[in-house]
Each structure stands twice: as C-alpha cells, then as structure tokens.
Amino acid sequence: MDFAVQAGVLLFGEYRTKAGRLSPYFFNAGLFNDGETLGRLGRFYARALLASGTTFDVLFGPAYTGIPLVAATAMALAEFGRKVPFAFNRKEAKDHGEGGTLVGAPLNGRILIVDDVISAGTSVRESVELIQRAGAHPCGVVIAVDRQERGQGALSAAQEVRSSFGIPVHSICGLDDIEAYLVKRPDQAHHLRSIVAYRQQYGVEPS
C-alpha cells in the first residue's frame, strides 16, 4: 500500500467507476510509468504468482494495460529464477510482417492472464476466447487490486470470472488491505469512513 500511495497510483477522494458508482478510491496502474516503479510492481506480481502455487507455461497480457505488466512480471520472475515466456495482443490485426494480433511467445499449454484490475470482466472474457482459439488453456488471472465489490449480480467481478470460466483469480492486494492501511493512519480516518460505507453498500466477502 505504501508503494502504491507514494507512487500516486492509489488515490483517495471521489471517483466515478465504469458501473457509475462513486468510489472513495481509485487505482490507476497506468501511472506506474517509469522503469523503477514498473520494475517494483512486476516483482509484486511475480511474488503473488509464486505464492499462489498456480502452474502455468506462458504469461499473457491483454492490450493495452496488460502489455507492460506482463513484460515486467516475466522479467521479475526471471530474477527469481523462473524463466517464463510471455505474449500479448494487438487491438487490430497487423496486415504485414508476421501479421495477426498476437505478439511474443506462442500460446501453448497453460496460459496465465496478467492484468491490472477486473471491472466488468470484459478483458478477461476476450483473453479467454483468444487463448482458446489458439488451442491453449487459460489457467488463471493475476491482478493488482481486487475491489471486492459486486459486479452485475451478487458476486464480485473476480468471483464472476471464477464462476464463469472455472479459473482462479489472484491479486496482489484487495479492499481488505486498503482498509488495513488506512486503519493505521488516523489522519486518513475520513477516507476510511468513506470506504467502510462504500463497502457496506457494494461490497462482497472474498472467496
């Protein structure tokens, strides 16, 4: 949490989400925009994956946010002694050179999706379809923050992904961790109250 706040990536205030809700916090992974912070973030992703025990053969980053994240994660895993190939996609097919929408390693075997957050699950759904069309098997997702709030129904977006595709979703941190961070900072009590109220209205328990 300290890292995300100091990098200006985790912000507190009032922010409208894609679902139209007024959220008391906002996480913008696109602001990990220099080599040092992106490298540190990649190590957090790598540690989360290694701790999860998930078995995978290739990392996949959905365009566009997932592209730097998957590269940083693969580099961090290599630092930890785990050499893993990675791939990502283009939004539009290239009609020259190697062509197609996929860049990087072939999608073979068990594919782990690397993204920033899951909102409506659209990015994960598109990634799963792309991986399956390539003849590979999606085996999980890793994200930076699990918002732990309801998606379209009673489940969170992450829980909906688990239910729809039968694959685990791992996160570096969640709303529980954000609350725990604020509890230790009395000067941020007003932000904590806002998050507790928001969670009472929209939250779900982690699964």
Cβ count within 10 A of residue 183: 11
Q: Which amino acid is at 50?
A: L
Is 191 noted as a catalytic residue in this protein? no
Q: Which of 94, 170, 184, 191 is catalytic?
A: 94
Q: Which of 18, 83, 91, 96 is catalytic?
A: 96
Rounded to the nearest 10 degrees, the angle between the axes of helix 122-133 and helix 157-165 is 30
94 is catalytic: yes
Any idea which residue has 């895993």 for tokens?
A: 77
82-to-37, 47, 204, 206 alpha-carbon distances in Å: 21, 11, 34, 29
- What residues are annotated to the active site? 94, 96
